[in-house]
Amino acid sequence: MKKKENVFRKLARWTVRGLLGPQFEEKWFKKNEGPKEIVYKDGVPDDSELIVSPAMQVFQRFLERKFAVISVIVVLVMFAVVFIGPHYMPKYYDAYTEVTQKDLPPTLDFMSVPKALQNNIKMIDSYGSFSVGLSTDGEVFVWGATKLGTTKIDIGDIPEEVQNAKIAYVAAGIDHIIAIGEDGSYYGWGNNRFGQYENTEATLSNPNLAPVPDDVVNGNLDPVHIKKLTCGYQATAILMDDGTLYVWGNKQAYSNMDSFLGIDGEPKTGMKDVDFTLNYIVGLDSKQSSVYTGTRGLFNTARTNIGGAGEKMMDFLNGRKITTLTATTTSVALLLDDGSIALVGDFPADVVDVPQLRDGDYFTDVEGGTYHYTGLTAQGHVYSFGGDHYYQAEAPQVNGAKKVFAGAFQSYAVDGNGSLLNKWGLKGYLFGTDDRGANIAERVVAGGRITMTVGAVAVIIEIILGVSIGLISGYFGGWVDIFLMRVAEVFGSIPLYPFMLIMSSLLAQVSMSTDTRLFMIMVILGILGWPGFAHITRAQILVARESEYVTAAQAMGVKEVKIAFKHILPNIISVILVNMTLSFAASMQTETSLSFLGFGVNYPQPSWGNMLSRASNSTAAINFWWQWLFTSAILIFTTVCINTIGDTLRDVMDPKSTNDK
Amino acid sequence: MGRYIVKRLLYMAFVFILLTFVLFVLYHLMPANRAYTDARAELQGLKKGMTAEEQAAKFDELYLRYQRLYGTDTNNNVILYLRWLGLYPYYDGHYSGIFQGDFGFSYEHNTPVIKLVGPYMRNSMLIGAISEVFVLGVTIPLGIACATRKGSRFDRGTQIFTLIGFSTPSFIIYIIFIVIFCSILGWFPVSGIKTPGSNYTGMKQVLDVAHHVALPVICLVFSSLASITRITRASMIDALSMDCVRTARAKGLTEKVVVYSHAWRNAMIPMVSIVVGGFFGILGGAMIMEQMFGFKGMGLLFLNAMRSADYDLIMFMEVVYTFIGLFSNLVIDLCYGIVDPRVRISK
């Protein structure tokens, strides 16, 4: 009978075990086990052990190793994730880039509207990685990824005077926030490298930057008469009731900014609406019959839904007027005076089309994000459409909404009191984004598929070549053996990395699909790796050939080939299995190293190696730590587990090794 | 012994020719036509006032001349290869190839290849030799200690570390070290072999170089610690379970003698290829390390040659790598004979 341990004794025992080791634990905490009960069977003490087959024994001994079992589970899970995972990312594609989402740290807070704001929302805006919200009390909130790249600026540090003031309008650009106080005072913070919010000597002397207009800086605007405050990539626009338009910021980001700047220091007038796409400012002039860009023919083909055929703007409108416009990266949605929507510009491939409204319902407001639009109807329903890469255009059922706001990839529906009814869209990035704005978590899964496939296929090729050549060589001996072993030696003396580099730069010259290229890499890795297997197999065969069972088979007249493959091969399979596991990890490492150097798998195809290549720059490695840390941790973890399995297999299959670990 | 070496050298020559021929043919698949580019360039200077036909005729003439000059006036790969070796005459009858000491001309560096490699190899050898000494100095005692204390806490701890180190691709180790020592602590410079623009002499120069070389050496040492420790431990465990060790213990020899004289001598046999191979490997440079630190060694030279398609240089580097590989195999086999007297290499 075993005495039950109390908790304190258990804790003390574990501490001793952890700090000093099991031998102390045994010495100090003697187990109170009574004498072993003797089992009698047929009147004799039964101390027999069950005889199990060698394979079963290996399996049982393997199960005794905790780490090995965990490793097997981890590797299986990893395989499942990288091979089944891509089916759960239907919107993922290798070459995805998003300029507004570059180098974002891991966060899932893109949609976490602060508690204090949730019931009194006045407005919410976002352009890139962070969102800015304004409460009905005039308080400003910022959430999302607020650290701006390498600039060390945290845009979430709201300036003191903004916190103290009552704010009437806010808007967010890619790296700046503009706020207008209820007394007309002007605030801006964030990055000012392109004169986003402040006139400094450096920005004034730069001809490519439009300065902040004096009226704005001096606080001459009456917030009651502000119709719209909106920010673009690195630019801002304020539109007044009377059609006066103030625009400033980086002209290089918006090539047609000059058309909106007015003449001789006087702001442009006569505008009804304004917004920013990624490359153009779009406006609505007082005729309200076309999208004004200052460039002829741009955004002049309108259609009612994304899939539909375009018509010339004049024919399309047919007398109707455009009430407001709202812009995304490449397209503009126009709200017409009959409550319908017209679309101009280009859409990404992955879109949700404009919904069919209920009878008698019509749009009263449309807000644009980076790719999607969210529209509010007169009956208080909310619909999203447009780009849907992050499911931002799949609006839930919302009733009684009075206002909608669109962030970059998010939408918020708000009721008449300013309470948040619902929000949908992109929460953030678990592992952050890379320098092209792609989601690293998705690329880790897709890259794992490629890295593991390359490793596995390379090992399979190695085994097929190596084992059959080793078998033939070892079994037949003589000149066959000498010849094959010489061939193996030649292959073995090929310097791996230099040869791989030459081969992959040769492959780069040949035009072939990325998949064929990938397969060629696997084949080359396999062809360079087989001599190891051949040597091991041959050595094992030489031992096995002398054993009695082979002599017996020969005496019975079994064919040579049959003896080699049917009698000997099963006996050496354990050694091959061990080496297969270790080679798999080694192949994965070779592939990642080559891809890291830029000579293996190339962008846009992800691999765990080429995803890390940016970290070879020490500044990028420290500033964008998430771009290598997670990927390399997963890579190391996987290879550690695979190697653990290989090591344990070798241990448990070795009849000489004792049971002590 | 002498006959064996001669036999091996002949075999080496055969493999060398085979490998270089394959590489040569492969590399001639790359689209690069020096004669064409040079002829075009020369034509640019001449073509003023020429009609199109005259230009074409002139170009053909120039092209042929350059092809003959570079020895590319044939598509026969064997002839091209023999010319490269220096066993087949060029159009004008002269021989210029490896056997004449002409390894080609690096267009990227505008220098004959053979003159270019020296400083790079010196850098690689400097850093490689230092780190190799450190690696062997750490790993062999560590491996022996683990093997003699097999199963102990110390051994298991080391095993876990070496398993992780062994499973980590070297470039990740470099990234981690660069982030810690350059970016966070700021102890070491990120790249180069001396302070740019400095002209130190004497002790100061040594210290400056040491400061620059320190982190690459640390990285190299760490990236090869794990695997060599594991191999040492494994071969030492095998050696300790040999009958001769049991006999030695039974004779009452001290543990020290048993381990270092009987077991270690046997464990050294598999170690030979690691140690000798390691020392030859430093001639070829550490490609990834040199790439990451911008360290001007053989590996970086090769990578840059690959990137800029500097073919003569690539071919020469391949020759160097192949030769190092083959020669180190020979030396390893000879060393087996020294370490293990039972191996009779004279057969």
Between the alpha carbon of residue A117 and those of residues A338, A374, A415, A418, B70, the distances in Å are 34, 21, 13, 9, 76
A343 forms beta bridges with: A303, A333
Chain B partners within 8 Å of A493 (Cβ) = 15, 19, 322, 325-326, 329
pLDDT bracket for residue A604 (50, 70, 90): confident
What angle, rounded to 10 degrees, do the helices at A626-653 and A66-84 form?
A: 130
The answer to whether the beta carbons of residues A650 and A643 sit under 8 Å apart is no
CATH code of B114-171+217-339, in short, is 1.10.3720.10
pLDDT in tens, A333-345: 999 988 888 999 8
Local structure of residue A35 (DSSP, 8 states): P
What's residue B347's pLDDT?
45
Q: Which residue of B has its CA nearest to A501?
A: B306
pLDDT in tens, B272-322: 888 888 888 887 778 888 888 888 888 889 888 888 878 888 888 888 888
CA distance A230 to chain B (A): 39
Q: Considering only CA atoms, which of A641, A643, A622 is closest in space to residue A633?
A: A641
C-alpha–C-alpha distance, residues B72 and B79, integer Å: 9
Burial class for A86, CB neighbours closer than 10 Å (0-12, 13-18, 19+):
middle
Sign of CA dihedral B222, B227, B230, B232: negative
Statement: residue B167 has pLDDT above 70:
yes
What's residue B114's pLDDT?
85
CA distance A455 to chain B (A): 14
The answer to whether the beta carbons of residues B105 and B114 sit under 8 Å apart is no
pLDDT in tens, A432-464: 999 998 999 999 999 999 999 999 999 999 999
pLDDT bracket for residue A223 (50, 70, 90): confident
Q: Considering only CA atoms, which of A447, A428, A452, A565 is closest in space to residue A144?
A: A428
The answer to whether the beta carbons of residues A412 and A70 sit under 8 Å apart is no
With residue B18 as reference, give the H or E element that holds it: helix B2-28
Residue B171 is nearest to which of A21, A494, A593, comparing CB atoms?
A: A593
Q: Which residue of A has its CA nearest to B314?
A: A502
Question: Which residue did the predictor score with more confidence, B225 or A564?
Answer: B225
Q: Considering only CA atoms, which of B294, B51, B180 is closest in space to residue A629?
A: B180
Query: Domain residues of chain B, as ranges?
Result: 29-112, 114-171+217-339
DSSP track, B143-185: HHHHHHTTTSHHHHHHHHHHHHHHHS-HHHHHHHHIIIIIIIS
CB within 8 Å: A493 and B19: yes
Please give the domain boundaries of chain A with CATH numbers for all domains. 57-89+452-652 (1.10.3720.10), 107-269 (2.130.10.30)
Supply A258's token pair. 């000059």
CB within 8 Å: B169 and A593: yes
Statement: residue B5 has pLDDT above 50:
yes
C-alpha–C-alpha distance, residues A360 and A202, integer Å: 55
Beta strand A209-210 with A186-190: parallel, antiparallel or unpaired? Answer: unpaired
Which ranges of A510-625 would DSSP assign to H, the alpha helix?
Answer: 514-545, 548-555, 560-562, 569-597, 618-623
Mean pLDDT of B151-169: 90
What's residue B31's pLDDT?
65
Question: Which of A596, A619, A645 would you mutate first to test chain B, the one with the most B CBs within 10 A?
Answer: A596
B:30-59 residues touching chain A, CB 8 A cutoff: 30-31
Sign of CA dihedral B225, B226, B231, B233: positive
CB within 8 Å: A503 and B26: yes
B317 vs A: CB within 8 A: yes
pLDDT bracket for residue B343 (50, 70, 90): low
Examine residue A604 and say whether the peptide bond preceding it is cis (omega within 30 degrees of 0). Answer: yes
Burial class for B170, CB neighbours closer than 10 Å (0-12, 13-18, 19+):
buried
DSSP track, A102-127: TTPPSBS-TT---GGGTTSEEEEEES
Mean pLDDT of A419-435: 90
Share of chain A above pLDDT 90, in %: 28
* Greatest Cα pair distance in chain A: 115
Sign of CA dihedral B124, B127, B128, B130: positive
C-alpha–C-alpha distance, residues B179 and B173, integer Å: 10
Statement: residue A640 has pLDDT above 90:
yes
Burial class for B41, CB neighbours closer than 10 Å (0-12, 13-18, 19+):
exposed
CA distance B167 to chain A (A): 5
CB within 8 Å: B306 and A501: yes
Supply A367's token pair. 């807000």
Question: Which of A483, A597, A622 would you mutate first to test chain B, the one with the most B CBs within 10 A?
Answer: A597
CB within 8 Å: A589 and B169: yes
Share of chain A above pLDDT 70, in %: 96
The answer to whether the beta carbons of residues A343 and A305 sit under 8 Å apart is yes
What's residue A5's pLDDT?
65
Amino acid in the structure at residue A156? G
DSSP track, B205-240: HHHHHHHHHHHHHHHHHHHHHHHHHHHHHHHHHHHH
pLDDT in tens, A376-406: 998 888 999 998 888 888 888 888 888 999 9
Residue-averaged pLDDT of chain B: 84
How many other CB atoms are there within 10 angstroms of residue B187's CB atom?
A: 11
3 state SS for A412-468: EEECCCCCEEEEEECCCECCCECCCCCEHHHHHHHHHHHHHHHHHHHHHHHHHHHHH
Which residues fall within 8 angstroms of residue A294, CB to CB, at 6 or more apart? A256, A258, A259, A260, A281
Supply B100's token pair. 């004449």
Question: Which of B150, B167, B227 would you mutate first to test chain A, the one with the most A CBs within 10 A?
Answer: B167
CB within 8 Å: B15 and A493: yes
- Token match 């464990």: residue? B267
Supply A632's token pair. 């390399």
Q: Which residue of B has its CA nearest to A615?
A: B175
Q: Which residues of A touch B (CB under 8 A)?
A: 21, 489-490, 493-495, 497-499, 501-503, 505-506, 509, 585, 589, 592-593, 596-597, 599, 609, 612, 615-616, 618-619, 621-622, 625, 628, 632, 635-636, 639-640, 642-644, 647, 656, 660-661
What's residue A412's pLDDT?
92
Residue-averaged pLDDT of chain A: 86
pLDDT in tens, B107-137: 788 888 888 888 888 888 888 888 999 999 9
C-alpha–C-alpha distance, residues B317 and A121, integer Å: 67
CB within 8 Å: B168 and A636: yes
What's the distance, Cα to Cα, between the start and end of chain A in Å? 28
Amino acid in the structure at residue A5? E
The answer to whether the beta carbons of residues A475 and A550 sit under 8 Å apart is no
A373: three-class secondary structure by DSSP: strand
pLDDT in tens, A525-545: 898 889 989 998 888 888 887
Which residues fall within 8 angstroms of residue A126, CB to CB, at 6 or more apart? A132, A144, A172, A407, A408, A410
With residue B34 as reference, give the H or E element that holds it: helix B34-46
B:247-306 residues touching chain A, CB 8 A cutoff: 284, 287-288, 291-292, 302-303, 306
B:155-214 residues touching chain A, CB 8 A cutoff: 163-164, 166-172, 175, 178-179, 182-184, 190
What are the strands of the beta sheet with A176-181, ordered from one edge?
Answer: A167-172, A176-181, A186-190
B314 vs A: CB within 8 A: yes
Supply A369's token pair. 């994000």
- A to B CB pairs, distance under 8 Å: 114
Mean pLDDT of B72-83: 80
CB within 8 Å: A505 and B321: no
Amino acid in the structure at residue A590? T
In this prediction the ipTM stands at 0.86
Question: Which of B171, B241, B300, B317 would you mutate first to test chain A, the one with the most A CBs within 10 A?
Answer: B171
Residue A490 is nearest to which of B18, B27, B309, comparing CB atoms?
A: B18
Statement: residue A657 has pLDDT above 70:
no
Chain B partners within 8 Å of A621 (Cβ) = 175, 178-179, 183
Q: Considering only CA atoms, which of B280, B343, B30, B260 is closest in space to residue B132?
A: B280
C-alpha–C-alpha distance, residues A88 and B99, integer Å: 61
Statement: residue A15 has pLDDT above 80:
no
Query: Rounded to the nearest 10 degrees, how much is the dihedral formed by the CA atoms of A464, A466, A469, A475?
Result: -110
Q: Which residue of A has its CA nearest to B302?
A: A498
Q: Please state the length of chain A.
A: 661
Q: Give CA angle at A245 (A242, A250), nearest 5°.
A: 170
3 state SS for A545-578: HCCHHHHHHHHCCCCHHHHHHHHHHHHHHHHHHH
Burial class for B326, CB neighbours closer than 10 Å (0-12, 13-18, 19+):
buried
CB within 8 Å: A647 and B184: no
